[in-house]
């Protein structure tokens, strides 16, 4: 199983969404979970993972066991500085590969491969832990959907945004 996860915030509330699917070309899901969490820590520059990691782990617990996880963001930032994906990989006992798919360039990022999908001229920035960046980029490139953002990554993003409580 492959999982895609994403989190969105409003104040101290977070909505974490996760989907599970069987193959890279799939556009349908096997499982879909959305959880709301409160008491979320405020954003701290350079410490983003402290805010998002508990949410990702909570939604992953609700999904079937997975062989790989895709996140919205980077695995590695500057040399020797882990990003959200590296922290997630470590939290998963370095047994489940993590692929980061970012929509914007982070200038200091290392071990990143740009890919272009569909007719877009804007690349996605792919990074990984537990497998090569080249292999991770090929997986993301092969995912279903005709647009820049693969269909299932867009779906998990929409799930997390749609369920944000209004205050």
Domain 2-162, what architecture? 2-Layer Sandwich (3.30)
Confidence of residue 10 (pLDDT cuts 50, 70, 90): confident
Residue 117, pLDDT > 50, answer yes
Ramachandran bin of 53, using left for φ above 0, alpha for ψ from -120 to 50, beta for the remaining angles: alpha
Q: What is the mean pLDDT of residues 99-109?
A: 92
Q: How many Cβ atoms sit within 10 Å of the Cβ of residue 164?
A: 14
CA 158 to chain centre: 13
Residues 46-81 pLDDT 10s: 566 777 899 999 999 999 999 999 999 999 988 888
pLDDT of 51: 76
Q: Which residue has the higher pLDDT, 141 or 161?
A: 141
**In 3D, which of 73, 78, 75 has the Cα closest to residue 108?**
78
CB 155 within 8 A of CB 122: no
Q: Is the pTM of this model over 0.85?
A: yes
Distance CA 28, CA 6 (A): 17
């Amino acid at each position: 199983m492959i999982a895609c996860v994403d989190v969105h915030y409003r104040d101290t509330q977070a909505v974490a969404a996760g989907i599970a699917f069987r193959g890279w070309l799939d556009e349908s899901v096997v499982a879909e979970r959305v959880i709301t969490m409160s008491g979320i820590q405020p954003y701290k520059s350079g410490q983003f993972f402290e805010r998002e990691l508990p949410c990702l782990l909570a939604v992953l617990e609700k999904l079937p066991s997975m062989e790989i996880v895709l996140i919205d963001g980077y695995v590695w930032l500057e040399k020797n500085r882990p990003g959200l994906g590296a922290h997630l990989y470590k939290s998963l006992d370095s047994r489940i590969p993590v692929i980061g798919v970012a929509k914007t360039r982070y200038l200091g990022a290392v071990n990143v491969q740009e890919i272009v999908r569909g007719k877009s001229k804007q690349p996605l920035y792919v990074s990984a832990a537990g497998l090569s960046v080249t292999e991770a980029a090929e997986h993301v490139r092969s995912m279903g959907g005709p647009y820049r953002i693969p269909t299932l990554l867009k779906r998990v993003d929409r799930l997390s945004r749609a369920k944000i409580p209004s205050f």
